Amino acid sequence: MGTDLEQVLVSKEDIDAKLAELAALIDKDYDGKDLLIVGVLKGAVMVMADLARALSTPVTMDWMAVSSYGAGTKSSGVVRILKDLDTDIQGRHVLIVEDIIDSGLTLSWLLSNLSSRGPASLQVCTLLRKPEAAKVDIDVKYVGFDIPNEFVVGYGLDYAEKYRNLPFVGTLAPHVYGG
Ligand code: XMP
Ligand code: MG
């Protein structure tokens, strides 16, 4: 990626080790249960793929795509469903898998939307969280890394749809976004 990246924040090795840790917790918590993991497109694609393979618990997988109305990179909390689940989650154990929780507004909306469908349980797993950016208090059971309030890319996360395929999470050099 050359000079576009300022620094590697979370290496591929750190991601792999953390997902193995989280998978072990999830295996223990859902032992003997029927688990549906729900990835939030597009950012959670990498986390879903790697977490799912780290789990021993058999799971089914589904996807949602949501768009948050708001100016630029800021989330407004007003959310529109672009792609809904294919699965009826009533009575199911559901684990939402996210790439990153920033303000938490999108996830907060998603949690209330999915709870209204009557799942047996509803929890969240996120690879990254920015505690300083939180606008709502959300109980997230499985958190990979708390990171500083900076814009990050890679491992599913994009800047203008680029960098999603980087195997690590990094910060962008200011010249890339016009800084
Ligand atoms: P909120 O603020 O509602 O937003 O928690 C969550 C969504 O915003 C995107 N997001 C980012 N995307 N680098 C990105 O590439 C970031 O640093 C970043 N912070 C938030 C992301 O889609 C997330 O689901
Ligand atoms: Mg996302």
Give me the residue label for tokens 């990094």: 170
The residue extents of the domains of the chain are: 12-149
Cα of 100 from ligand 1 centre, angstroms? 6
Q: Is the pLDDT at 9 greater than 70, yes or no? A: yes
ipTM: 0.91
- 102 CA closest ligand 1 atom index: 5
pLDDT (tens digit per residue) in 148-163: 999 999 999 999 999 9
Pick the CATH number of 12-149 from 3.40.50.2020, 2.60.120.10, 3.40.50.300, 3.40.50.970: 3.40.50.2020
Percent of the chain exceeding pLDDT 70 equals 93
pLDDT (tens digit per residue) in 26-47: 999 999 999 999 999 999 999 9
**Residue 74: predicted pLDDT:** 62
123 lines ligand 1 (CB under 6 A): no
Q: Is the pLDDT at 2 greater than 60, yes or no? A: no
Given 50, 62, 99, 102, the catalytic residue:
102
pTM (predicted TM-score)? 0.93
Cα of 20 from ligand 1 centre, angstroms? 23
Of all ligands present, the nearest one to the C-alpha of 110 is 1
Helix boundaries (H) for the chain: 12-29, 45-54, 105-115
Gap between the Cα atoms of 19 and 1, Å rounded: 24
45 lines ligand 1 (CB under 6 A): no
User: Is 26 within 8 Å of 56 (Cβ atoms)?
Assistant: no
pLDDT (tens digit per residue) in 57-86: 999 999 999 987 655 556 667 889 999 999
